[in-house]
């Protein structure tokens, strides 16, 4: 089934079940007012939502038109957002840009940071930023939402806890990262609010594109209307979602509604090195800093700027038939207070 | 007023107003079922809770006995837990233990990490840990709960957003920190679930001990029943709460219910160096690693072990009259699955 959260006057919005083709929806309020409430009591609520989804497909319930613009992030605020960096190619590239090697341990021990989860952006809302000087970048990622995960969960327990899949734009402020990471406590100011896709889907909606741990489909990214990336999220993902969840749960339980991110989707080139831009026949990138790194490695300097006020990014994923699965994240960068 | 969250069958517990002497309480359900609900609509709810607190003091409402053991953390789960490290003396000591100097910027730019907030420990519940080899430590801190804070908030806006004050035990796994921090993404596995005091109080309950930014009272810490620390939280706090909140809000808004921590309370000694243990006439420490560092600096090796299964820690703060303000965090370390 497919779920979305519509804007209303509350902080958590209203849960709706969305039709497979994303054109219609029906309120889930009789069963759960919000997505968090559904996740808190998933065993009881999910079968009822599945029945509702079935009736919606059959046209057996009164439905309303679904507009992606009316959606908040599926969890407008969450109790946990932990983002891995599972595409080690991305990590290697970003490090190469600053002259740092990739430690061997990065291929066996996942990188993960604790993100802010109190206030996610709407998928069609603006990216509000204080200054263009902060190096505003997108990061197109996959995320899963989990149920309760016990401390020390096995890979199998982790896999069984995956409830929903969605897309993320993990907005990043590149210029703030060097100083912040040098302090040793990880990202904070350099990782402002993220946005998630209008729709979150149960893994079965992905069909054969979901293998239990990865999504084997291209991540379609465009910047200002021009194709920028189509890296396959199933390729070069060094740590799959069960591995990321088990990593997060090693020393503590995870509560229902925890969001675990994949990190920026990134594919290596045919020669094992950095992938090529779409304009040169490659699959492109899921963030600007990768292209800038490639430009730097090839020409000594980055030519592509970070995002400016007024720039628009779009992130989407389509099934084998070309139909949007999650709806699109489409955001324009705006000046804070502007 | 003083607020607590009693255990019930829900994940968020039941909000109660607690008497000043912590002996009685009354349900706040007519006004807000949970503390998060109260914070979401504070302008409307707080005056009603204040009236209820007034009636409770007068004995004008039917009250029940308040037991600290029945309390969850005031927010059993929260949308944001961001912990500063405002007592730079603590940072200097911990760094000295591993031979690292304190960069000058650490005195002007706050250290802050994003903590996990999906599942806080109960103040009288166990600290469940996987292994004693992880270097289990306590960290006694002050925290504030904020209302909504706009992106780029001024110091004045930050100060005005402080709603509640409470104590924290920010459980830390010291042995996991070096590898984790070396990876550059900050704490994750090394910072498992934290516990908060049974009671959260509005700043006015602190009287003259609250100056708008700091709490000027000793942080009473004992380990296995023996006094371990009584550092004054108003001394050597390099960044006060308005400064920490403004730091957190520099590039993003903070939503109501955000918890901002002070970091481990730590006082310098009379000579400006590390403070002395209580047994030697000093104010002691608010975490074991500080004592271990002092032991290492003085004798070449740490003698005091980290916490073992069965060890108990207690964290409390008393007013000038010797009365407990927040109730006590008192926790015993237990083996996961044991």
Q: Is A202 left (phi over 0), alpha (psi -120 to 50) or beta?
A: beta
Cβ neighbours of B112 in A, within 8 Å: 185, 188
Report the residue of chain A nearest B128, measured CA to CA.
Answer: A252
The confidence score (pLDDT) of residue A105 equals 86
Q: Are the beta carbons of A79 and B114 separated by less than 8 Å? A: no
Contact status, residue B28 vs residue B13, Cβ threshold 8 Å: no
Q: Are the beta carbons of A255 and B77 separated by less than 8 Å? A: yes
Q: Are the beta carbons of B77 and A79 separated by less than 8 Å? A: yes
**Per residue in B94-151, pLDDT tens?**
787 777 888 888 899 999 999 999 999 999 999 999 999 999 999 999 999 999 999 9
Torsion over CA: B201, B207, B211, B212 (sign):
positive
- Cite the beta strand spans of chain B per DSSP E: 2-6, 14-18, 24-27, 64-65, 71-72, 81-84, 112-115, 127-129, 136-137, 140-146, 162-169, 172-173, 195-196, 200-201, 220-223, 226-229, 259-261, 312-316, 329-335
Q: Which residues contact B35 (CB under 8 A, 6 or more apart)?
A: B3, B5, B12, B15, B74, B75, B200, B257
Contact status, residue A196 vs residue A73, Cβ threshold 8 Å: yes
* Averaged pLDDT for residues B298-315: 96
The confidence score (pLDDT) of residue B248 equals 98
Report the residue of chain A nearest B76, measured CA to CA.
Answer: A79
Q: How many CB atoms lie within 10 A of CB A102?
A: 15
Q: Closest to A184 (Cβ–Cβ): which among B78, B181, B336?
A: B181
Q: What is the mean pLDDT of each run of 10 residues along chain A (338 residues)?
A: 97 98 97 98 98 98 98 98 94 80 88 97 97 98 98 98 98 94 92 98 98 98 98 97 98 98 95 89 96 92 97 97 98 93
Phi, psi of A5 (to 5 degrees): -120, 115
A144, A112, A116: which is closest to A252 by C-alpha? Answer: A112
Report the residue of chain B nearest A77, measured CA to CA.
Answer: B79
Q: Are the beta carbons of A185 and B183 separated by less than 8 Å? A: no
**Per residue in A77-124, pLDDT tens?**
999 999 999 999 888 887 877 778 888 888 999 999 999 999 999 999
The alpha carbon of residue A87 is apart from the nearest alpha carbon of chain B, in Å, by 15
Q: Above 90 in pLDDT, residue B157?
A: yes
The alpha carbon of residue A67 is apart from the nearest alpha carbon of chain B, in Å, by 26
Contact status, residue A185 vs residue B247, Cβ threshold 8 Å: no
Cβ neighbours of A109 in B, within 8 Å: 179, 183
**Per residue in A215-225, pLDDT tens?**
999 999 999 99
Q: How many CB atoms lie within 10 A of CB B208?
A: 7
A299, A289, A306, A304: which is closest to A97 by C-alpha? Answer: A289
Q: What is the ipTM of this complex?
A: 0.97
The alpha carbon of residue B75 is apart from the nearest alpha carbon of chain A, in Å, by 11
Name which residue leads in pLDDT, B64 or A105. B64
Q: Are the beta carbons of B130 and A109 separated by less than 8 Å? A: no
Query: What distance in Å separates the CA atoms of residue B326 and residue B66, rounded to the nearest whole number?
Result: 12
**Residues above pLDDT 90, as percent of chain B:** 89
The confidence score (pLDDT) of residue B95 equals 81
Q: Are the beta carbons of B337 and A189 separated by less than 8 Å? A: no
Query: What distance in Å separates the CA atoms of residue A3 and residue A34, rounded to the nearest whole number?
Result: 10
Q: Closest to B186 (Cβ–Cβ): which among A185, A251, A252?
A: A185
Q: Are the beta carbons of B116 and A193 separated by less than 8 Å? A: no
The alpha carbon of residue A110 is apart from the nearest alpha carbon of chain B, in Å, by 10
B220, B218, B168, B223: which is closest to B197 by C-alpha? Answer: B168
Q: Closest to A79 (Cβ–Cβ): which among B105, B118, B337?
A: B118
Q: How many CB atoms lie within 10 A of CB B235?
A: 16
- Provide the residue count of chain A: 338
The alpha carbon of residue A139 is apart from the nearest alpha carbon of chain B, in Å, by 16
Which candidate in A38, A147, A185 is best for mutational testing of the B interface (most B CBs within 10 A)?
A185
Q: Closest to B188 (Cβ–Cβ): which among A106, A114, A181?
A: A114
* Averaged pLDDT for residues B175-198: 94
| Cα end-to-end distance, chain A, whole Å | 39
Q: Can you give the pTM of this predicted structure? A: 0.98
The confidence score (pLDDT) of residue A323 equals 98
* Averaged pLDDT for residues B299-326: 97
- Provide the residue count of chain B: 338
- Cite the beta strand spans of B185-310 per DSSP E: 195-196, 200-201, 220-223, 226-229, 259-261
Residue B255 pLDDT class (50, 70, 90 cuts): very high
Query: What distance in Å separates the CA atoms of residue B130 and residue B134, rounded to the nearest whole number?
Result: 8
The alpha carbon of residue A317 is apart from the nearest alpha carbon of chain B, in Å, by 27
Cβ neighbours of B115 in A, within 8 Å: 114
Cβ neighbours of A181 in B, within 8 Å: 184-185
**Per residue in A306-337, pLDDT tens?**
999 999 999 999 999 999 999 999 999 999 98
Cα-based distances in Å from A147 to A196, A248, A258, B109: 18, 13, 7, 37
Rg of chain B taking only CA atoms, in angstroms: 19
The confidence score (pLDDT) of residue B24 equals 98
**Per residue in B217-253, pLDDT tens?**
999 999 999 999 999 999 999 999 999 999 999 999 9
The confidence score (pLDDT) of residue A141 equals 98
Report the residue of chain A nearest B127, measured CA to CA.
Answer: A252
The alpha carbon of residue B209 is apart from the nearest alpha carbon of chain A, in Å, by 30
Strand A329-335 to A127-129 pairing: parallel
Which candidate in B118, B126, B258 is best for mutational testing of the A interface (most A CBs within 10 A)?
B118
Report the residue of chain B nearest A115, measured CA to CA.
Answer: B114
A114, A16, A142, A71: which is closest to A331 by C-alpha? Answer: A71
DSSP-derived secondary structure letter, A111: -
Cα-based distances in Å from A138 to A197, A238, A290, A330, B224: 14, 21, 11, 11, 50
């Amino acid at each position: 089934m497919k779920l979305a959260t519509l804007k209303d006057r509350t902080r958590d919005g209203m849960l709706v079940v969305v039709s497979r083709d994303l054109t219609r929806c029906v309120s889930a309020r009789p069963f759960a007012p919000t997505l968090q409430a559904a996740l808190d009591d998933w065993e009881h609520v999910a079968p009822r939502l599945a029945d509702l989804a079935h009736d919606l497909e059959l046209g057996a319930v009164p439905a309303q038109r679904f507009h992606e613009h009316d959606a908040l992030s599926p969890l407008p605020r969450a109790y946990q957002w932990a983002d891995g960096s599972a595409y080690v190619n991305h990590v290697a590239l970003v490090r190469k840009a600053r002259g740092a090697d990739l430690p061997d341990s990065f291929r066996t021990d996942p990188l993960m940071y604790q993100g802010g989860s109190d206030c996610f952006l709407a998928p069609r809302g603006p990216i509000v930023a204080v200054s263009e000087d902060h190096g505003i970048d997108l990061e197109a990622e996959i995320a899963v939402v989990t149920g309760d995960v016990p401390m020390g969960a096995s890979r199998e327990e982790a896999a069984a806890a995956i409830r929903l899949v969605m897309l993320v734009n993990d907005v990043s402020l590149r210029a703030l990262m060097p100083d912040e990471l040098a302090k040793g406590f990880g990202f904070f100011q350099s990782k402002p609010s993220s946005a998630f896709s209008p729709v979150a889907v149960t893994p079965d909606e992905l069909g054969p594109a979901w293998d239990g741990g990865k999504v084997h489909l291209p991540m379609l990214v465009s910047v200002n209307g021009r194709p920028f990336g189509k890296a396959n999220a199933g390729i070069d993902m060094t740590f799959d979602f069960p591995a990321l969840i088990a990593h997060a749960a090693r020393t503590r339980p995870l509560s229902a509604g925890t969001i675990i991110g994949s990190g920026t989707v990134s594919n290596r080139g045919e020669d094992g090195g950095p992938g090529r831009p779409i304009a040169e026949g490659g699959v492109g990138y899921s963030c600007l800093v990768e292209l800038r790194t490639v430009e730097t490695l090839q020409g000594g300097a980055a030519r592509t700027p970070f995002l400016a006020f007024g720039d628009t990014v779009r992130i989407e994923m389509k099934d084998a038939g070309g139909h949007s699965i999650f709806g699109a994240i489409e955001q324009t960068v705006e000046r804070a207070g502007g």
